[in-house]
Amino acid sequence: MEVSAVVPMLSISKCSLSGLAPLEAVLFDIDGTLCDSDPLHYYAFRELLLQIGYNGGVPITEEFFIEKIAGKHGDDVARDIFPDWDLEKGLKFMDDKEALFRKFAKEQVKPLDGLHKIRKWIEDRGLKRAAVTNAPRPNAELMISLLGLSDFFQAVVIGSECDRAKPFPDPYLKALEVLQVSKDHTFIFEDSASGIKAGVAAGMPVVGLTTRNPESLLMEAQPVFLIRDYDDPKLWAALAELDQKGAPGATATA
């Protein structure tokens, strides 16, 4: 039976992280979740779309980027913004855009505030972890390397290598399978509505990051709660409660 990416999961969205004890794993999206990379994607799209005279030569806006592009799989983006092109031509444009993005990323990518603190919290407790993304594998591996996380993640799951990418649950279900952990003892960090929907559809609570996307848009996807970054006191209060309910290790501290 096919699992819809938009099936409401009210019991998940209302639960707290303490219900996951003992915690087994934490899953992360990459763009906008490990680092604030969406502006680099926006600049790359804007530059290349200008070169081909898209939208009559008028630069795309950030609002257009959020609505049509952010968090979506490349094939879907190509179909959406180039409805009159054949898919092969659209995917060639996407390949060129990803190459330009990687050039920008090498010069400008920085971790979100508190990322290394949450990394230490996870490592101290011996939890499993994976990166789960709709980005192409070259992008994902570059970003993880630039952020110094190559030795942190035990698996990197790519949407295009699954039967369906986000917003369907397949990438997150694959991560559970690869790590050999239960959805009942795993939670997710995500920054896009598409990614939150994928995690919720996979049966896991999702902590949403308000890196770039509007809070109202993220809340429609039913995260368990929203944080601004990994220094947010709301996150550390939830992790402290989780520790107290049976997660291994010492009490979380901000």
Pairwise CA distance, residues 89 & 86, whole Å = 6
Residue bearing tokens 């991560």: 175
Contacts of 227 (CB under 8 A, 6+ apart): 207, 208, 209, 210, 234, 235
**Is there a catalytic annotation at residue 31?**
yes
**CA count, 13 A, side-chain hemisphere, 223:** 23
Which of the residues 31, 36, 38, 170 is marked catalytic? 31
Quote the strand ranges of 40-185, DSSP E: 128-133, 155-158
Which H/E stretch holds residue 193?
A: helix 193-201
Pairwise CA distance, residues 76 & 72, whole Å = 7
Go through 30-67 and write b for each residue having 16 or more CB atoms within 10 A of its CB, e for each that does not. Answer: bbbbbbbbbebbbebbbebbeeeebeeeeebeeebbbe
Contacts of 192 (CB under 8 A, 6+ apart): 29, 32, 70, 71, 166, 213, 218
Which of the residues 29, 36, 191, 232 is marked catalytic? 29
User: So which residues are the catalytic ones?
Assistant: 29, 31
